[in-house]
A and B are shown apart, each in its own frame.
Chain A
């Protein structure tokens, strides 16, 4: 039963990831990405990490909306227009071949060196309470630094947005 669920979820993750890459319209790509991330959340639940799964849904799947928003705001939409695909050149083909081979070798090595198992050993299952306690005590320094990092990112993003807006208003005036 567990194996069946594991296989179904893995299938969902892989297939929707491929569809996300192949989608002609960016918004459909974003939707498939959301499905893929939901599948990853399901894998986390199967491994007994419900907490991580919930944040996977709240943060990653929820953030897909931002991707959709960027697509709407940045890409001009014309329904019915056929996207012309550029034929990849010789260099592009070679690059794709090399990347595919590397991915194949890495995946093969991972499967042979560490066999995949949907069962989790007991000692890996950490309760949320323990996790919170260790974050607030032994890892509190790292937590504060992470918080500062995120704060700096937000300030940087705000600065960039503000500069852009000033430029725009100058342009129109």
Chain B
């Protein structure tokens, strides 16, 4: 760690400030792979979801705000910001606000380790993959706290369902990427992308991809696994008692999670930023990410919801089994000497 020189005169303070603001790390954190990109992409995803789901249901979707209604997320955000925040009388308002902020923090955290282009990553960690999974595992606690703090049966039931579902699907999720780690011998996400220059991992790891995608759907509480916010039973699940800015933050956090999980799928299975050179690398990355996100939305438009017992049983028996099968298939590939295609 470098020792900071303490500036004394105003000129030195100014030049230090300029140096910090124009430094690559600062710009990366604030603008491109960092804060602004994640914020805008999550807002864009809310629009994309409404547009795609409208197409599936033969509707038009948002139309009036901007071209094709693309400014709709901003209008929604402004509306929610000016709404009154109403909490139930016996709810724990302080805890709810704290948890909404914590949810946002946890949702943003994976963006630090995901490479959006060659060298375009905020922190190129050797254990990037474990970091992302470790951060994702913090979601259930915050969501359960929101459900408990709301002091409402709908919220509490939604939070509990979310907890069971996320904890159960975390295990197949961790196991399904083991094949990739076996083939590349690294947990560094940049190196995992570089290993896919010849062939994307979706081909040799097709079982792992299927398991990972299913687990991601469950982690995101998306149809067919959207039991935590099943509208006919639980109103809006753990988000029921959130309103105004608190609701906006929680809502945006779930879309941020959708965005970054799609980005993680792109990184692990779809070759990350790689693509023909006529477009810059981040464009390829974002295109693949939004494609995965649209796939998630189309699934929401086409499938019914599963039952709780089927959800849990399929995670612990079927998915775990397929993930283990994937590990053995990968071991077979390495034994046949095919592993050298993806070695770093």
Which A residues are within 8 Å of any B CB, using their own CB?
1-2, 27, 31, 34, 50-51, 54-55, 57-58, 61-62, 64-65, 68-69, 72, 79-80, 128-129
Contact = CB atoms under 8 A, between A and B. Distances in A.
B148 A54 contact: no
B127 A128 contact: yes
| 5 A-B pairs closest in CB distance | A65-B141, A58-B134, A62-B137, A57-B134, A54-B134
B121 to A, nearest CB: 16
A91 to B, nearest CB: 36
B140 interface: yes
A27 to B, nearest CB: 7
Contact of A72 (B2, B125, B131, B156): B156
A147 to B, nearest CB: 15
Query: Most chain-A CB neighbours within 10 Å: which of B1, B2, B4, B144?
Result: B144
Given A1-B3, A72-B156, A27 B134 contact: no
Contacts of A79: 90, 151
B138 interface: yes
Interface of B: 1-4, 90, 125-127, 130-131, 133-135, 137-138, 140-141, 144-145, 148, 151, 156, 160, 163, 167, 185, 187
A146 B148 CA distance: 36
Given A54-B130, A57-B138, A80-B90, 8 more contacts: A1-B2, A54-B127, A57-B134, A65-B140, A68-B148, A69-B144, A72-B148, A128-B127
Contacts of B3: 1
Contact of B141 (A50, A68, A128): A68
23 contacts: A1-B4, A27-B148, A34-B141, A50-B127, A51-B127, A51-B130, A54-B131, A54-B134, A55-B130, A57-B134, A58-B133, A61-B138, A62-B134, A62-B138, A62-B140, A65-B141, A65-B167, A69-B144, A69-B163, A72-B148, A72-B156, A79-B151, A80-B90
Contacts, number: 60
A1 B145 CA distance: 35
Query: Most chain-A CB neighbours within 10 Å: which of B125, B134, B160?
Result: B134
Contacts of B156: 72
A130 to B, nearest CB: 13
Given A58-B130, A72-B156, A79-B151, A64 B141 contact: yes
Contact of A68 (B127, B130, B144): B144
Nearest to B147: A72
B238 to A, nearest CB: 13
A55 B137 CA distance: 11
A121 B3 CA distance: 19
A172 to B, nearest CB: 20
B177 to A, nearest CB: 14
Contacts of B126: 50, 128
A50 B125 contact: yes
Contacts of B141: 34, 61-62, 64-65, 68
B181 to A, nearest CB: 10
A80 B90 CA distance: 9
A54 B138 CA distance: 12
A57 B133 CA distance: 10
Contacts of B134: 54-55, 57-58, 62
Contacts of B160: 69, 72
B44 to A, nearest CB: 30
Contacts of A64: 141
A57 B144 contact: no
Contacts of B125: 50
A74 to B, nearest CB: 13
Contacts of A1: 1-4
